[in-house]
Amino acid sequence: MNHKILTMTAYKRPEYTKNVLDNLQQCIGFEEYTLLPTIEPGFPEVIELFSDIPNCEVLINEKRLGCCTNTLNALKRGFDRTDFLVHLEDDTVPGIDSLRFFEWANKKYEDDKEIFTVTAYNRVRDINKINHQDYFSAYRQKWFSGWMWGTWIDRFEEMSKRWDFQSWDQNINKKIRGNRYEICPSLPRSQNIGEHSGTNVRSNYWRMYHYSPFWINNVLNFSDISPHIESFRSNNLDSIYKEIDEPSYNLIISEERQLENEKLMLIGILIGSTYLLFG
């Protein structure tokens, strides 16, 4: 099955959903895709936003299912039509070449079983740490990032058998993924805008750990993209993208290690305090 499929979940945030859809329609190659939104009921202003999207097949749930169940159903729906898909949420804005990036990764890593998923997301706070020649590069990292991501049907079958209906993304990252990698772009190809009305999100935490000040849509201009237009059209994607080694400045991994170290330090302090108090 070679169909180009995008799945998407949406619920109650029309301003976010509109931002996502507006940018999605600007993505290179979007006209080649079928968009399969799976939408929670109760907010007709959200549903209406999909009415003018070409190649869009809307499914509205009969009752509210919740994020975890809705995500699983959306993915199952997509994999009925394809062997590789890209999944979006209603607060994940896609970058201009994000679909072509996923197509490159699909072809390059389909048979590499060390690669579990592909993500468009990254977090970059200092653009000067990325060499200009690496703007179209990607690397392997032992992580799962759920803000615009893709995977293959065999990997999804693993996920679906062990799906967590409380925290689906953390379960993929911490348990199902094991020791495998995701492919991550050096320069982010998506942006998380979900500061408000998200699940378990605080604004200060979102700014620190989710928002990326630099991503493709505010770093590159047409002069950066234009040399690759013909390659985008002809799907000669190996001439555009490349894999590099994981950089030392990788924020997602380094900050996770820092958080783990802080947790261990806190546990140590609690144990020490308990010993002093109770001997």
CA–CA distance, 98 with 188 (Å, rounded to integer): 9
Which uninterrupted H or E stretch holds 93?
Answer: strand 92-94
Q: Is the pLDDT of residue 76 over 90?
A: yes
What is the structure's pLDDT at 248?
Answer: 78
Mean pLDDT, to the nearest integer, of 8-33?
A: 97
pLDDT at 274: 54
Q: For residue 137, what is the enclosing H or E element?
A: strand 137-141
- With bands split at pLDDT 50, 70 and 90, how would you rate the model's confidence at 122? very high
pLDDT over 80 at 255, yes or no: no
**Can you tell me the distance from the alpha carbon of 61 to that of 40, in angstroms, rounded to the nearest whole number?**
5
pLDDT above 90: residue 138: yes
On the question of pLDDT at 275 being above 70, the answer is no
Sequence-distant contacts of 55-63: CB under 8 A, at least 24 apart: 55/31
CA distance 119 to 149: 4
State residue 221's pLDDT score. 87
The β-bridge partners of 111 are none
User: Distance between CA 11 and CA 9 in Å, rounded?
Assistant: 7
- Give the pLDDT band of residue 223 (cuts 50, 70, 90): confident
Identify which has the larger pLDDT, 220 or 273: 220
Residues whose CB falls within 8 Å of the CB of residue 107, separated by 6 or more in sequence, listed in order: 237
pTM above 0.75, yes or no: yes
Average pLDDT score over the chain: 89
pLDDT attached to residue 121: 97
Residue 150 has pLDDT above 80, yes or no: yes
Tell me what pLDDT residue 264 has: 45
- Tokens representing residue 73 in the block: 């159903």
Residue 273 has pLDDT above 60, yes or no: no
pLDDT at 222: 81
Q: Who has greater pLDDT, 278 or 112?
A: 112
| Per-residue confidence (pLDDT) for residue 47, from 0 to 100 | 97
Query: pLDDT class for 6, splitting at 50, 70, 90?
Result: very high
Angle, in degrees to the nearest 10, between helices 67-79 and 153-161 = 150
Pick from 213, 207, 175, 180: nearest CA to 194: 207
What percent of the chain clears pLDDT 90, i.e. is strictly above it?
75
Provide the edge-to-edge strand list for the sheet that holds 242-243: 59-60, 34-39, 5-10, 84-88, 149-152, 115-119, 181-185, 137-141, 242-243
